[in-house]
Amino acid sequence: MTIETVSETRSHGGTQGVYTHQSSATGTLMTFSVFVPDHVPGEKLPVLLYLSGLTCTHANVTEKGEFRSPCAAHKVIFVAPDTSPRGDDVPDDEGYDFGKGAGFYVNATQAPWSANFHMRSYIEDEMPQVLADNFAMADMDLLGITGHSMGGHGALTIALRNPARYRSVSAFSPIVSPLNCPWGEKALAGYLGPDRAAWREYDACALIDDGARLPDLLVDQGLADNFLEGQLKTHLLAEAVDRAGMEATIRMQPGYDHSYYFISTFMADHVAWHAERLSA
């Protein structure tokens, strides 16, 4: 799987790159960014995958996430894919919470979305192969995953479905139960159809209730987040992990909202947390 280089820039003792490739999963050109810390030839580095939220591209976290310094310090590669397929022939919706920029990390089964919206396969299968083929320093056996909001939903559900693949999992203000919030109900109904049983594999709380487990989990959520009560509902995740007896650290942060001011504040904590668990 070949990639094209859009840009490579020296930053924080490493290289920040932006790349494109033709995706077999989505049938479109996809853009992603990769930060690679300095390393000696032949050295292998762990990889942290970051999934972005509604309306975002790879650029949001790349430009505002403040991950480079901690990633350089811990020698962790940071990868930021896009949130959905894009292009003139890709279907879209007038709402910000569906269509382009709102892939929800599912494999759509309903027309017209099923032609391109296969973000689950893109993240779970294609992106790891792209990294393995093009970044020789990336140790794909030392893989962590995190994300924000819709991307937090993606990180949690992808890890819960593939617990042996991800050594570490965290999230910033995740949508913890799409079955029980307006964003999720719109997206899952549109992409998957009306059968709510088919939605459960894309709902972190449902996956935990159905037996999926992680060894541990870190979540940060701002208490001043205006989406907390209506969309994110962090308490549902706390209740699900308690029912399951699953180890989890869920931190409610006073005064913080849903923005990258919040994410960047706690990014170094998350990178360090992942680095500890990604030690070979």
CA distance 197 to 193: 10
Length of the chain: 280
CA distance 131 to 133: 5
258 is catalytic: yes
Looking up tokens 């991307």, which residue turns up?
Answer: 151
CA distance 123 to 44: 21
Is residue 107 within 8 A of residue 122, CB to CB? The reply is no
Catalytic pick from 21, 148, 153, 258?
Answer: 258
CA distance 86 to 187: 17
33 is catalytic: no
Catalytic pick from 33, 225, 270, 274?
Answer: 225
Name 90's Cβ contacts closer than 8 Å, sequence gap at least 6.
28, 100, 116
84 is catalytic: no
Catalytic pick from 149, 170, 173, 177?
Answer: 149
As annotated, the active-site residues are: 149, 225, 258
